[in-house]
Amino acid sequence: MNREQNTLTERYERLDMAILVLACVLVFFALGGRALWGAEGRWATITREMMLTGDYFHPTINGEPYFDKPLLTYWLIAALAFVSGALNELVVRLPSAIAGVAAVWATLRLGRHLWSPAVGRIAAMLLLTSYGLISQSRMAAADTENLATVMLAILWYWLRRDKNNFITFIVLYLIVFVGSLCKGPVAAVVTAIAILPDAIAGKRWKAFLRPAPLFALAIGIAIYFAPFIWSSGTTPASYASSGLALVWQENVQRFFSPFDHKAPFYTYIHSVPVLILPWAPLFIAALITGVKYFARLDKNTHWLIKVIALIFVFFTLSGSRRSYYILPIIPFCALLTAVILTRMKEFRPSCIIPAGFTIQKWILFGAAALELLVFLALLIVPPRSAGVSLAGISLAGILVALAAIAAAIVASMAAHRLAVQPEEKAFLPLAVVAFILMGGFFCVQQNVFEESRSEHQFINKIQSATAWIPPDRIGLMYKGEVDAKMVFYLGKGTPVTLLRHEDKYADKKDPDKKTIMSFLQSDQLGVFIAQMRYVSAFPAELSSLLPATPTFEEKPVPFESKKAREERWGVWLLNSQNTTPGTGGKTTNEK
């Protein structure tokens, strides 16, 4: 009997390790293949300027204060840059990727601890292949770190639930408050919300009020506030932002009196299914089943459903809402889906899980078939795409679709060998298809699409054009918020010249207009960088100072909209010895 038990345990461990290996593949493969986009530029630029100045407590973008997040994620990126010897797209995204794997591991262990190894494995695969986790884990941001903090804290709580000593509480609070230094105390609030139902049900809340836990809590809070207090106490006279003000503004004011991101109250009703894609049908069926048969479920599943409800209500009550804010709910949704799947036989014949499973199967296999057909059509009859070849994009899509279909067939045939529990046999082919489709899109197709954009080539051109030009003669036009990505790729040691665009320029006394005119009229060599839409809105006295067309610009992207085309960047080389105004910025040899 012991021998059989040991063999089964070893098999569980091998399967768990296989899932973690798959998680690493999905989040680390070709992680640095894409250029920075969106808010990623802020993380890269702030970290770079911290490393240049040696000031790790006062974040800046182009030398200007930008204190909108706690500091730990910047420090993690800087540490990885120091170890690797480079600060690039891969390094900037590594903390998120590591946190993504940690969240999958914590979900796996939590499912195994509270229910069964099968629940842990299914939940981990659901989470791993969900849109929310993959997209955020492969992006430079703090949301995956926030998610990992919550899951690691909840796992620790359940592993040490009956050991109410100082070690239990100090480790719990260290996880929570150190993790909160990535995105903010929302991780601590969500963790408290998740612990609350169990603490109340078992009257364990009293343990949190003893002297040792309270002392541990005080240490955790002190650790959280220490960087902000140090930052405020050492603020240079020219630095206008405050870390302590950030804590208030981003966490209290944003919840009760939002100043941006004012989405409708029903935002998360559709955001949660989107974040858990492609598993939305299965999750919705599991949620309905769980609520319908609530009385027949075990205490741990009661706790799980309450946690999902409380987290949903908490984020809905917040005045500031964005779809990815509610990312911490996704592991709990995956766990509930896994629990109901493994107990499906108990709820038949009135349970809707089989119907949800059938819909899920059609969606996944249908997605693979549709991808195959669409990219075959694009390969055979390529549409007009602004001169950009779609062959690489089409071939990547075809290969991903074929791989998903072939792997699903193999998984179906080998399910009885790979799966330990009967419930896993039906789930395995779906998980394989989801893994390949999601992995193919995020790890392969996005990078192939990036090559068609040639953004890296454009960035290399900018770096080459500005290599010997002093920062004050590099004019970067912006509107609202400076493009941190462009500042990062310019790679200058001191700030470049920022030129603010206005929808309507006043007379010549307009300070922004005067600054732009002064920069363009200078007889010194310079570079002017702006989105095409800004230049097209220039009044005559400004547009006359520029060559008719940029020296070079971003290549068009297949199927991009008119708005996206207008948002492409252009670069004008000013006062070059071989550049003549009105020739489109081309040198004499190029004409």
Tokens 């206008």 — which residue? Answer: 240
523 residue type, one letter: D
Mean pLDDT across 388-416:
68
Torsion angle of the four alpha carbons 399, 402, 404, 405, in this order, in degrees rounded to the nearest 10: 180
Q: Counting every residue, how long is the chain?
A: 591
- CA 569 to mean position of chain CA atoms: 24
Q: What is the pLDDT of residue 579?
A: 45
Phi, psi values for residue 582, rounded to 5°: 90, -5
Q: Which two tokens stand for residue 159?
A: 């592993």
Q: Which two tokens stand for residue 515?
A: 């600054």
* Per-chain mean pLDDT for the chain: 85
Question: What pLDDT digit, counting tens, does each position of 524-570 carry?
Answer: 889 999 988 888 888 888 888 888 889 988 877 666 667 767 778 89
Phi, psi values for residue 67, rounded to 5°: -105, 80
pLDDT band at 104 (very low <50, low <70, confident <90, very high): very high
- Residue 222 CA to residue 301 CA, distance in Å, equals 35
Beta carbons of 172 and 131 less than 8 angstroms apart: no
- Residue 314 CA to residue 255 CA, distance in Å, equals 10
Share of the chain above pLDDT 90, in %: 45
Beta carbons of 353 and 341 less than 8 angstroms apart: yes
Tokens 């741990």 — which residue? Answer: 300
Q: Is the pTM of this model over 0.85?
A: yes
The half-sphere exposure of 208 on its side-chain side, counting CA atoms within 13 A, is 15
- Residue 433 CA to residue 368 CA, distance in Å, equals 8
Phi, psi values for residue 410, rounded to 5°: -65, -45
Beta carbons of 106 and 148 less than 8 angstroms apart: yes
Range in 228-237, 247-256, 264-273, 287-296 the model is least confident about: 247-256
Angle at 317 between CA 269 and CA 289, to 5 degrees: 40
Beta carbons of 96 and 207 less than 8 angstroms apart: no
Q: What is the pLDDT of residue 387?
A: 47
Quick check: 260 pLDDT over 90? no
Q: Which of helix, strand or coil describes residue 65?
A: strand
- Residue 497 CA to residue 477 CA, distance in Å, equals 9
Q: Which two tokens stand for residue 584?
A: 């489109």
Count Cβ atoms within 10 A of the Cβ of residue 302 and give its class: 0-12 exposed, 13-18 middle, 19 or more buried: middle
Beta carbons of 60 and 66 less than 8 angstroms apart: yes
Mean pLDDT across 164-188:
94
Q: Which two tokens stand for residue 288?
A: 């309905």
Q: What is the pLDDT of residue 121?
A: 94
Q: What is the pLDDT of residue 227?
A: 92
Q: Is the peptide bond before 331 cis (omega within 30 degrees of 0)?
A: no
Q: What is the pLDDT of residue 367?
A: 83
Q: Which of helix, strand or coil describes residue 500?
A: strand
CA separation, residue 137 to residues 31, 133, 239, 312, 442 (Å): 10, 6, 32, 22, 11
Beta carbons of 19 and 108 less than 8 angstroms apart: yes
Which helix H or strand E contains 477, and what residues bound it? strand 474-478
- CA 542 to mean position of chain CA atoms: 39
Q: What is the pLDDT of residue 100?
A: 97
Q: Work out whether strand 497-500 and strand 552-553 pair parallel, antiparallel, or are unpaired.
A: unpaired
Beta carbons of 298 and 249 less than 8 angstroms apart: no
Any idea what DSSP says for residue 295? G
Beta carbons of 300 and 115 less than 8 angstroms apart: yes
The half-sphere exposure of 98 on its side-chain side, counting CA atoms within 13 A, is 10
Neighbours of 423 (CB within 10 A): 19
Quick check: 164 pLDDT over 90? no
- Residue 394 CA to residue 60 CA, distance in Å, equals 41
Q: What secondary structure does DSSP assign to 513-572, as a single string? A: HHHHHHHHH-SS-EEEEEEHHHHHT--HHHHTTS-SS-SEEPPPPTT--HHHHHT-EEEE
Q: What is the pLDDT of residue 6?
A: 61
Question: What pLDDT digit, counting tens, does each position of 427-463 carry?
Answer: 888 888 888 889 888 988 887 777 766 677 788 889 9
pLDDT band at 211 (very low <50, low <70, confident <90, very high): very high
CA separation, residue 269 to residues 289, 361, 562 (Å): 18, 23, 31
Q: What is the pLDDT of residue 198?
A: 93
- Residue 198 CA to residue 251 CA, distance in Å, equals 26
Q: What secondary structure does DSSP assign to 33-46, as a single string? A: SSPP-TTHHHHHHH
Neighbours of 468 (CB within 10 A): 7
Count Cβ atoms within 10 A of the Cβ of residue 130 and give its class: 0-12 exposed, 13-18 middle, 19 or more buried: buried
Phi, psi values for residue 473, rounded to 5°: -105, 15
Among 310-319, 349-358, 382-391, which range has the highest average pLDDT? 310-319
- Residue 249 CA to residue 270 CA, distance in Å, equals 27
- Residue 144 CA to residue 103 CA, distance in Å, equals 8
72 residue type, one letter: L
Count Cβ atoms within 10 A of the Cβ of residue 14 and give its class: 0-12 exposed, 13-18 middle, 19 or more buried: exposed
Smallest CA-to-CA distance from 395 within 406, 405, 382 is with: 382
Beta carbons of 367 and 437 less than 8 angstroms apart: yes
- Residue 261 CA to residue 11 CA, distance in Å, equals 47
- Residue 96 CA to residue 22 CA, distance in Å, equals 16
